[in-house]
């Protein structure tokens, strides 16, 4: 049989795959705590939390095409909101996450306002300023934030079930919480991008003037997307605070922003699975290369890999994987001639540029 193998759309095989895919993901998610040791599960949790922030960044930079060099600030805002409210005021964790998200939404809208007038390099500068400003503000208001020495004692209390008791139980609990957070973030982005606002977002990115002419409310769409993106990053930050327990301003430096950006690009800009792949790569690859090579060598290699990726896989791993898959298996249109070929409703491809062959 010659490649690619054609699977007719709507055939039994096609339906099997479409059901089996989500089931396999679900099985992996539920089964993972039983499959890997506790410390590894903790690492997976950290990567999941990072993924939430990358999903948020991807909404802004990938789908909406607005560069942000300041997402570490929104991540940090969530982390410190949770930390301060819990340590100083004794709030419960869930409410602090919500407060953090609301604050980050407002902050995101405020940062998004100048973004209405600026694009490309200048927008990158505004967000860079915000990103660099954040750690110094944390250091300055040290009576609240603990300053450079850090904020200690953030913790999560799992529900009082035996399954979640003890240190290992806490790890499992945080894992499930992070999965839920990531699922929520993905759902928000997925729903948003499939709807009216999503089409407006892509239209604004690909041809601003044309989008405005056909009636897209540019100011509303741009600022709301900025706010939502910040809120998602903030949710990641809150979970980060609960997970690690100690917050220092250096954890939210420009380096974190760079990591988030690299994760997004490696995974696949403007794709749904890309940010998750990217976050896992950015988290686990340094751990593995640290075993293979000394610190600086690993860093240099990492930079080179990113450059190669930008050239060879402009659509990231998600895009590259999809392309590879399409060489092996394709879903062909049903051969009934009477039906209009209305494909694409469930196709995650709408993130691709409308007027360019390849994304980024």
Partner 1 sequence: MDLLLDRLIDGFNNGVIYGFLGLAFVCVYRGSGHLNMAQGEMAMFSGFIAYSLYQIGFPVVGAVLASAVIAFVAGLAIERTLVRPFGRGHASDYPVLMITVALFLAINSLAGVIWGGEPLAFPAVVPAGPDDYVSLFGSRLRYQSLAFVGVLVAVLAALWFLFYRTRVGLAMRTATSNPESAQLVGIRVSRMSALGWGMAAFIGALIGSLVAPSTTLTTGMMFNFLIYAVVAATLGGFDSPPGVVVAGIAIGIFENLVASYVSIVGSDLKQAVALMVMLVVLMVRPYGLFGTPKVERV
Binds partner 1 by CB under 8 A, chosen from 10, 295, 325, 354: 295
* Phi, psi values for residue 355, rounded to 5°: -115, 20
Residue 8 pairs with which residues in a beta bridge?
332
Instruction: Name the minimum Å distance from CB 203 to partner 1.
Output: 14
Taking the least distance from each CB to partner 1, the nearer of 65 and 275 is 65
Instruction: Name the minimum Å distance from CB 288 to partner 1.
Output: 16
Binds partner 1 by CB under 8 A, chosen from 197, 298, 315, 318: 298
Binding to partner 1, residues 134-163 (CB under 8 A): 136-137, 139-140
Binds partner 1 by CB under 8 A, chosen from 8, 17, 23, 122: 122
288 touches partner 1 by CB under 8 A = no
Instruction: Name the minimum Å distance from CB 309 to partner 1.
Output: 9
The count of chain residues that interact with partner 1, using the rule CB under 8 A, is 45
Please choose, out of 36-44, 85-93, 122-130, 317-325, the segment that lies near partner 1 by the rule CB under 8 A. 122-130
67 touches partner 1 by CB under 8 A = yes
Binds partner 1 by CB under 8 A, chosen from 285, 310, 330, 350: 310
Taking the least distance from each CB to partner 1, the nearer of 13 and 307 is 307
Binding to partner 1, residues 82-121 (CB under 8 A): 114, 117-121
Distance CA 88, CA 337 (A): 67
307 touches partner 1 by CB under 8 A = yes
314 touches partner 1 by CB under 8 A = yes
290 touches partner 1 by CB under 8 A = no
Distance CA 141, CA 159 (A): 33
Taking the least distance from each CB to partner 1, the nearer of 144 and 306 is 306
50 touches partner 1 by CB under 8 A = no
Rounded to an integer, what is the distance from CA 36 to the centroid of its chain?
24
Tokens of 249: 């301003």
Instruction: Name the minimum Å distance from CB 78 to partner 1.
Output: 20
Distance CA 296, CA 108 (A): 34
x-or-dash string of contact with partner 1, 248-277, rule CB under 8 A: ----------x--xx--x------------
Binds partner 1 by CB under 8 A, chosen from 303, 323, 332, 343: 303
Binding to partner 1, residues 223-242 (CB under 8 A): none
Question: Cβ distance 151 to 84 under 8 Å?
Answer: yes
Alpha helices in the chain (DSSP H): 12-35, 38-57, 71-89, 93-115, 121-140, 142-145, 166-194, 196-206, 208-213, 218-244, 254-267, 274-292, 295-312, 316-328
SS (H, E, C) 61-124: HHHCCCCCCCHHHHHHHHHHHHHHHHHHHCCCHHHHHHHHHHHHHHHHHHHHHHHCCCCCHHHH
Taking the least distance from each CB to partner 1, the nearer of 265 and 281 is 265
Distance CA 108, CA 238 (A): 16
354 touches partner 1 by CB under 8 A = no
Q: What is the dihedral of CA 102, 108, 112, 114, to 10 degrees?
A: 110
Interior/surface letters 160-185, b for 16+ CB within 10 angstroms, e for the rest: eeeebeeebbbbbbbbebbbebbeeb
Residue ranges in contact with partner 1 by CB under 8 A: 61, 65, 67, 114, 117-122, 124-126, 128-130, 132-133, 136-137, 139-140, 208-209, 258, 261-262, 265, 294-300, 302-304, 306-307, 310-311, 314, 356, 360
């Amino acid at each position: 049989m010659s490649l690619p193998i054609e699977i007719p759309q709507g055939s039994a095989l096609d339906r099997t795959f479409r059901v089996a895919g989500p089931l396999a993901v679900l099985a992996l998610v539920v089964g993972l705590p039983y499959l890997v040791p506790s410390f590894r599960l903790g690492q997976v949790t950290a990567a999941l939390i990072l993924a939430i922030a990358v999903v948020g960044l991807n909404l802004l930079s990938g789908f909406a095409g607005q560069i942000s060099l300041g997402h570490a600030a929104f991540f940090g805002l969530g982390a410190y909101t949770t930390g301060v409210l819990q340590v100083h005021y004794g709030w419960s964790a869930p409410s602090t996450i919500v407060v953090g998200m609301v604050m980050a939404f407002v902050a995101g809208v405020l940062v998004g306002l100048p973004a209405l007038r600026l694009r490309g390099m200048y927008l990158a500068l505004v967000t860079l300023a915000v990103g660099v400003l954040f750690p110094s503000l944390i250091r300055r208001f040290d009576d609240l934030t603990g300053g450079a020495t850090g904020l200690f004692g953030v913790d999560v209390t799992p529900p009082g079930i035996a399954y979640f008791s003890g240190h290992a139980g806490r790890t499992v609990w945080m894992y499930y919480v992070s999965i839920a957070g990531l699922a929520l973030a993905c759902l928000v982005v997925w729903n948003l991008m499939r709807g009216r606002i999503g089409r407006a977002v892509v239209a604004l990115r690909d041809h601003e003037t044309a989008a405005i002419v056909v009636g897209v409310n540019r100011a509303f769409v741009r600022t709301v997307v900025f706010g939502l993106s910040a809120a998602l990053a903030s949710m990641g930050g809150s979970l980060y605070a609960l997970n690690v327990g100690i917050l220092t301003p250096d954890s939210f430096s420009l380096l974190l922003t760079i990591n988030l950006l690299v994760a997004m690009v490696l995974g696949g800009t403007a794709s749904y699975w890309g940010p998750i792949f990217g976050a896992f790569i950015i988290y686990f690859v340094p751990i593995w290369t640290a075993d293979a090579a000394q610190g600086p060598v690993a860093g240099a290699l990492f930079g080179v890999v990113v450059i190669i990726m930008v050239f060879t896989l402009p659509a990231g791993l998600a895009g590259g994987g999809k392309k590879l898959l399409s060489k092996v298996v394709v879903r062909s249109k049903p051969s009934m001639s009477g039906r209009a070929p209305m494909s694409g409703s469930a196709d995650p491809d709408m993130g691709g540029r409308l007027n360019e062959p390849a994304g980024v």
